[in-house]
Amino acid sequence: MRPYKLVLITALLAGAAMPAAFAEEKEAWRLFVADHAAASVVAIDAEDGDVLERFALEGPASLNRTESGETVFAVQGAAGAVQAIGTGIAFDDHGDHGDIDISDAKLTGFSLAGKKPGHFVELRGNIAMWFDGEDAARLFTERAALRGESATRSVSVGAAHHGVAVPYGDYAVVSVPNPEDASKRPIGARVVKGEDEQVGAVADCPGLHGSAASGSIYALACSTGLLLIEAKDGVPEIRHLPYPASLPEGSASTLIGGKGIRYFVGNYGPDRIVLVDPAEADGFRLVQLPTRRVHFAADPVRPQFVYVFTEDGKLHQVNFLTGTIARSIALTQPYSMDGHWSDPRPRIAVAGDEVVVTDPLNGKLHLVNAASFTKTREIAVEGRPFNIVAVGGSGQVHGGEEGKGRSHDHDQIYKGYFEDHQVKDRALSDWAGDWQSVYSYLQDGTLDPVMAHKAEHGTKSADEYKAYYEIGYRTDIERIEIDGDTVRFFKSGKPLEARYASDGHEILTYEAGNRGVRFIFRKIGGDAGAPQYIQFSDHKIAPEAADHYHIYWGDDRGALLKEVTNWPTYYPASLDEKEIVREMMAH
C-alpha cells in the first residue's frame, strides 16, 4: 500500500466544534451605502433599517466588497485614497457546516494614498488596486487589510493610464497602455511575474475597458470581444473570445460576472445588454431594454437572474437562461442618462431575498422581494445614498441559554483563537470506533443537497463546491477501525493494521492569524506498509470523543504538517447516508 497522505485544509483546522445543542441558525445582512457628495459611508442593518455605524472618509467613494464579504473597500478617486471597512460579518466553512460570526463594523486601519485610484480587483483574497495616475499597480491581501496592514507590493504597468490589474499570487495580468497616447484606452493585456517579468506575449485587446470575474474565469472587455483569463497551475493564461458576426456593430465597456453560473453581462450600446456564455464560441445574446441602462447587478442567490435599472425609473429582472426580461417594476422618478456621467443615479445590490435600489435624489433605499418582484418597503438614508454593496448570509451561531457561560470561549476556539495552555494531549481512544469515508457519498451524488445548501449561503455554486470537496474528501481508504492502540485501514475491503502511540501535538499558525491543533500518533508496530505517522483534527483542542474527524498520514512527520490540499473526512459507520447528510447540514 502506498503511503497515503490525508490532509486537512486550513479552514477545518480552526479549533474545537461545539455540540449541536448549542448551535442556532442565524441570518444577517448589512448594507454599506456611500453618499454621492459627502465623504462618508453608512452601515445599515438590512432587516430593520437601523444605522449601525457611519464612517467618515477623505472623499466620496465607490464601494467594492470582497468575495468573503468580510471587507468593503472604499475607493475615493478624487481624494486619492483607499480605505478598508471590516463588515463585521464573517463565515467559517468547516467542511460539513458553516458558522456566521457577527460583530461591529469598523474601519480596519488599512489606508492607501495615490494618484487617481480606480479599478479594484479581488480574486480569492488577493487584491490589485489600480491607480490611473501611476505607472504601477499595488497588490496585497484581504487578510492583511483586515489586520490594518497597509504594506503592498508593486507590479509595473508600463505607463500611467486608465487600466486594470488582475492578481494571481506571484503573477498578475495588467493592461498594456496605448504606446501613441496613454490617455487613450489600453490596447492589450500581458502576464507579469513579480514586479515586471513578462510571461508570454501580449494579448491584443483594443479599446480595453471593463472587467469582471465569474467562477474561475476573469474577463476583460475589448472592442473585438472578451479576453478570458484562467489560471493553469497558478499561472494565468489568456484567450480571446471574439464577438460573432451575428452581433450588430458595437462592444461592451462595462462587465459584471454571474455568481453560481459562469456568465458575463455587458453593456452593448446605451439601451441593450449582451449576455455572454464563456464556454460557447457563439455564446453572445442581446437583450433590448425599454430605455437606456443606468446600472445592473447579478443575483448571487438566484444565479439565473440579472437586475437592470433603466432611466425610466424601472427595475427589470433578466433571466440569463432564457435571455429575456422576466419582470419589471416601477420604483422611482425618471433618472435621465443625459447630463454628466457621474451625476447621482440609482445603484443595485442584492441582500438575500431582497433587491435593494438606491434613490439618491429622494434619500431612500427601495427594497424589492426577489421572489414576488414586488416592493416591500423603504429605508430612509440621510444625504444622497448612491453606491451600495450588501454582505451577509446565514450560518450557525454557537451559544444559546445553555451555553452562554462558555459560548465565547467555544466560538474563539472554534475559529482558532486560543491560548497554548488550553491545548491538552489526547489519547487515541478519542477516535475509537468504526468509521466510514464520505468520499463515495460525494461521488454518487448523495451529498448534492449539502453542496446546494452551501451554495445558498456561500460564495460558490453547488458544482464549484462539489469540485472543491472532490479534492478534499478524496481517498481510497473506505473504512478505518480504531480499537485501543490498533488502527486498521480498509482498502477494497482488505485491512492494513498497525499499533500507534501518542507523539504529542502541534499548534499551527496560519496566514490569517488563527491557529489549529493536530494530534499526532507514531507507529510502534504492525504491518510494514502502514504509515509511520497519523494525524487527526476534529475541531477540538482537548480530550473529548470525536463525532467525525479529518485525518492524514505518511512517513514524514514534518512534511505532513505542511500539507493542506486533501482532507478526507470520516463519520461513524453506524450512520446511513441520509443521517450523514442531515449531520452535515445541521452540525
**Rounded Cα distance, 293 and 341, in Å:** 12
Residue 521 inside a domain? The answer is yes
**Rounded Cα distance, 38 and 60, in Å:** 6
Residue 454 inside a domain? The answer is yes
What average pLDDT does range 122-146 have in this prediction? 95
Residue 473 inside a domain? The answer is yes
**Rounded Cα distance, 12 and 23, in Å:** 17
- CB-based contact 266:210 (threshold 8 Å): yes
CATH number of the domain within which 569 lies: 2.40.128.20
**Rounded Cα distance, 248 and 272, in Å:** 11
Which residue, 93, 91, 84, 102, is CA-closest to 30? 102
**For residue 191, pLDDT beyond 60:** yes
**Rounded Cα distance, 362 and 348, in Å:** 15
Q: Which amino acid is at 51?
A: V
Residue 501: all three cell numbers together: 502511540
Any idea which of 98-102, 231-235, 381-385, 387-391 has the lowest mean pLDDT? Answer: 98-102
Would you give the DSSP letter of residue 244? P
Q: Which amino acid is at 177?
A: P
Would you give the DSSP letter of residue 557? H
Residue 190: all three cell numbers together: 500581458
Residue 4 inside a domain? The answer is no
Residue 492 inside a domain? The answer is yes
**Rounded Cα distance, 60 and 34, in Å:** 7
What average pLDDT does range 402-408 have in this prediction? 39
Residue 31: all three cell numbers together: 448594507
What does the pLDDT look like over 210-237, one tens digit per residue?
A: 999 998 899 999 999 999 999 988 899 9
pTM of the model: 0.69
User: Residue 446 belongs to what H/E stretch?
Assistant: none
What average pLDDT does range 266-277 have in this prediction? 97
Q: Using CA of residue 352, residue 69, residue 211, residue 75, what is the dihedral sign?
A: positive
Residue 489 inside a domain? The answer is yes
**Rounded Cα distance, 186 and 209, in Å:** 8
According to DSSP, the residues that pair with 112 across neighbouring strands are: 82
Percent of residues in the chain assigned helix, strand, coil, to nearest 5 = 10, 45, 40
**Rounded Cα distance, 403 and 167, in Å:** 43
- CB-based contact 213:255 (threshold 8 Å): no
pLDDT of residue 566: 85
CA angle 8–11–16, rounded 5-degree value: 85
Residue 459 inside a domain? The answer is yes
Residue 455 inside a domain? The answer is yes
Burial group, residue 43, by CB count within 10 angstroms (0-12, 13-18, 19+): buried
Q: Which amino acid is at 428?
A: L
Q: Which domain holds residue 581?
A: 407-586
What does the pLDDT look like over 51-97, one tens digit per residue?
A: 999 999 999 999 999 999 999 999 999 999 999 999 999 987 655 55
What does the pLDDT look like over 310-350, one tens digit per residue?
A: 999 999 999 999 999 999 999 999 999 999 999 999 999 99
**Rounded Cα distance, 263 and 213, in Å:** 9
Total number of domains in the chain = 1
